[in-house]
Amino acid sequence: MTVACQTPEAAYIHVPFCAHKCGYCDFTVIAGKDHLADDFLRALSMELATLESARRVRTLFVGGGTPTHLAADKLTELLSLLSRWFELEDGGEFSVEANPSSLDRDKIALLAEHGVNRVSLGVQSFDARVLKLLERDHDAAQVAVAVEALESAIPNFSCDLIFGVPGQTLALWRETLARAVSLGPRHVSTYGLTYEKGTAFWARRADGTLRPVSDEIERRMYAAAMDDLPAAGYEQYELSNFARPGYRCRHNEVYWAGCAYYGFGPGAARYLDGRRETNHRSVLSWMRQVLARQSPVGEVDELPAVDRARETLVVMLRRTRGVGRDEFRATTGFDFEEIAGPAIDKHCALGLLERDLDGVRLTREGRFLADSVIVDLV
Q: Does domain 305-377 have CATH number 3.30.420.40?
A: no
Q: Which residues contact 237 (CB under 8 A, 6 or more apart)?
A: 243, 248, 319, 320, 321
Helix H or strand E encompassing 275: strand 275-279
Dist CA 106 CA 111 (whole Å): 9
- The residue-averaged pLDDT of 70-89 equals 97
Contacts of 37-41 with C-beta under 8 Å, sequence gap 24+, read 37/70, 37/71, 37/74, 38/74, 39/287, 39/291, 40/15, 40/16, 40/283, 40/287, 41/74, 41/77, 41/78, 41/81
Nearest in space to 312 (alpha carbons), one of 340, 332, 342, 333? 332
342 φ, ψ (degrees, to nearest 5): -60, -40
**Structural domain boundaries in the chain:** 10-256, 305-377
pLDDT of residue 6: 84
The percentage of the chain sitting over the pLDDT mark of 90, rounded to a whole number, equals: 96
CA angle 169, 175, 176 (to 5 degrees): 90
**Between 4 and 48, whose confidence is greater?**
48
Bridge-based pairing of strands 86-98 and 55-64 is parallel
With contact defined as beta carbons under 8 Å apart, do 376 and 346 qualify? yes
Q: Which ranges of 207-274 would DSSP assign to H, the alpha helix?
A: 215-231, 250-256
Nearest in space to 218 (alpha carbons), one of 294, 168, 164, 298? 164
Please report which confidence band the pLDDT of residue 9 belongs to, taking 50, 70 and 90 as the band edges: very high
- The residue-averaged pLDDT of 172-191 equals 98
Task: Count how many residues are written for the chain.
Answer: 378
Architecture in CATH for domain 10-256: Alpha-Beta Barrel (3.20)
Tell me: pLDDT of 187 over 70.
yes
Please report which confidence band the pLDDT of residue 3 belongs to, taking 50, 70 and 90 as the band edges: low
Instruction: Give 331-357 pLDDT, tens digit per residue.
Output: 999 999 999 999 999 999 999 999 999
- The residue-averaged pLDDT of 75-99 equals 97
For the chain, counts of helices (H) and of strands (E): 15, 17
With contact defined as beta carbons under 8 Å apart, do 13 and 268 qualify? yes
Instruction: Give 230-266 pLDDT, tens digit per residue.
Output: 999 999 999 999 999 999 999 999 999 999 999 999 9
Whole-number Cα distances in Å, 28 to 15, 35, 108, 281, 376: 9, 17, 24, 6, 29
On the question of a common fold for 10-256 and 305-377, the answer reads no
